[in-house]
Amino acid sequence: MTVEMGVVFAIVAVALYLFASQKLPLYVTAMAIMVTVTLVPFLDELPWLRGTGVDFDAAFPTVSEGLSGLSNTATVTVLAMFILSAGIQRAGLLHVLGRKLVPFIGTSEVRLLVVVTGIVGVVSGFVNNTAAVAVSIPFVLEISRSLGIRASKVLMPLSFMGMLGGMLTVIGTSTSILAASLLADMPAFDRRLGLFEFAPVGLLVLLTGMTYFLAVGRFLLPNTDLGGAGEDHDEEFVVEARIPSGSGWSGTTLEESGAHAEVGVTVLALLRGEDRHRAEEAEQVPVQDGDILTVRGTTRQVADLIATEDVDVVADMGGDRQPRASNGFLVRALVRNRWLFNGQRAGSLNFPRRYRARLVGLETERPRATRLADERLRVGEVVLLEAEEDELPRLRKHPDLVLLSEFEDEYDTRRMWLCGLIMLAVVAAAALTPVPIVLTALAGVVVMAVTGCVTKEDVTSGVPWDIIFMLAGVIPLGIAMTKSGAAQWIGDFFAVVAGGWPPLVVLIALYLLTTVLTEVVSNNASVVILIPVAAALSAGLDIPLIALALTVMFAASTSFLSPVGYQTNAMVFGTGVYRFTDFAKVGGPLNLILTGVTCTAIWFLWIR
């Protein structure tokens, strides 16, 4: 071992400690690594090092190489994919798709598990899996609450299946994008990984994960929601919905059709003429044209109810539903004019004339009057209004109201399908043409920006910049591992130890090493450290580099033992429904199963 290797290993040891202890944010540690490995060559200028044979300049990155992580194709591709994913999230494609599938779920926990995790698993191969899981968490919490299913039974499988689905393509995870970039720069590989090159293995592990949860994993999941995240803490409003002629809700009971569950609202009453049916009884009465349903739901659910053609949300408490503007906003407003509002019936205030806004709902646990139009308002109560965008400045300044929040129903069909088509074009162009994914993804970002699918706010808030800077920071460490010979040294040592091992055993050992390292540091840091080692091991043991590299990629992207090993695990852990040890309890057996399945599949396809 040379002095240069010793310095590299010292930097790696400090980095591993900082990553594991998280005494500093991960991106700060990564940037510190970048600065450190770039500064080391300047030690050659010290007088006492001259003539010693130590050559840090040759063993460590130059300034250009040290900063190359900021412009590396992996960093740029991940950045572009996050922006594209923000556009998909803003368009609401996953949300609407999920709602369409609610009738097939019913109240079955197993069907919910299959549908949600299946969709997220497949989508994660084409939309960054972190973003796919982030979009799905609110939907899962909402639907779990409405169906009476514990969120803890779905959220962890959601995270795990997002991780597995991300390995269907090169662009599904930042880990695979980074690994593909590192491989392309290696003379021993010297090509780009195909978009679907390892899709057969990815599909196999996805199906294995699904089978595991259906057969074993769901019984290991906790039976209670530790923090009660399954409860919807968003403000809920009571609204009225009239059943129009020809509605799909007519002719059957709500209990049988589950139409209200598809939207997510809770039925409080059904009014037919003078007859009023409450709560559970209302769901057992066959719905007829002209019936009035009193329902309660969040702002998102009310927006979904307004958008459906099967009911007419009664605006202005008693009048016919008025045409809804395409750029309509739902606005929570606190009423504060004592002389106007105190004791007045909601239906008598004529909101369109006074405020150019329609009164849609009241924030009340249960209405006191039979019809919302007869409900008496009080100063300090919160109402839900619908207003056009150009009327919002006037509403904000009106002395009668205090606007608390504004909700734009952004899930319009045009933007939704446009975002989907742009994403499809990005993937298709990368798969069917010689154009690299980094360019097709950047082109997709430009098109989304020009068409209004993404905004400046989406770029600033929709991109997890800590991940971007972490990628940029750890890439120079991989360069130092290669230039100093440290990766070759580890590879040679491993080759001596594993010299008599069958290739499948070597893959299993490398998989387990990567899994443990990922839990200690992070998935991207593990890839940067071990891909160069895989290259050296390939030369020493005469095992195809693609097989060893894929082993590292899959192990780093499918580590389930703790909530800190992968971003999606951290997100579902943050909902508060799990204990730290729940991940090892559920993920440990899956990790062992996937070690055998993944390594055997890679051995079969690339080595035997």
> Do 324 and 386 contact (CB within 8 A), yes or no?
yes
pLDDT number for residue 320: 47
Locus of tokens 């130590």: 54
Q: Where are the domains of the chain?
A: 73-227+435-466, 237-403
Which neighbouring-strand residues pair with 333?
383, 403
Query: pLDDT by residue (tens digit) across 153-193?
Result: 888 999 899 999 989 998 888 788 888 888 888 888 878 88
Q: Phi and psi at residue 321, in whole multiples of 5°?
A: -65, 130
Phi/psi-derived region of residue 92, left when phi > 0, alpha when psi is between -120 and 50, beta in every other case: left
pLDDT number for residue 574: 58
Residues 234-258 have a mean pLDDT of: 84
| Residue 401: strand, helix, or coil | strand
Q: How confident is the model at residue 461 (pLDDT cuts 50, 70, 90)?
A: low
Would you state the torsion angle of the CA atoms of residues 163, 169, 175, 177, taken in this order, to the nearest 10 degrees?
Answer: -160
Q: Is it the case that residue 355 has pLDDT exceeding 90? A: no
Sign of the dihedral defined by the CA atoms of residues 175, 177, 180, 186, in that order: negative
Angle between helices 26-39 and 465-483 (to 10 degrees): 30
Q: How far is CA 171 from the centre of its chain?
A: 14
Q: How far is CA 474 from the centre of its chain?
A: 23
Q: How confident is the model at residue 373 (pLDDT cuts 50, 70, 90)?
A: confident
pLDDT number for residue 229: 44
For residues 455 and 461, give the distance between their C-alpha atoms in angstroms, rounded to a whole number.
10
Distances (CA, A) of 482 to 125, 198, 212, 532, 538: 30, 25, 39, 6, 14
Closest Cα to residue 181, out of 518, 433, 519, 527?
527
Q: How confident is the model at residue 326 (pLDDT cuts 50, 70, 90)?
A: very low
| Residue 228: strand, helix, or coil | coil
Q: Is it the case that residue 370 has pLDDT exceeding 70? A: yes
Residues 364-372 have a mean pLDDT of: 78
Q: Is it the case that residue 94 has pLDDT exceeding 70? A: no
pLDDT number for residue 510: 92
Where does 237-403 sit in CATH, by number? 3.30.70.1450
For residues 126 and 146, give the distance between their C-alpha atoms in angstroms, rounded to a whole number.
29
Q: How many helices (H) and strands (E) does the chain have?
A: 30, 9
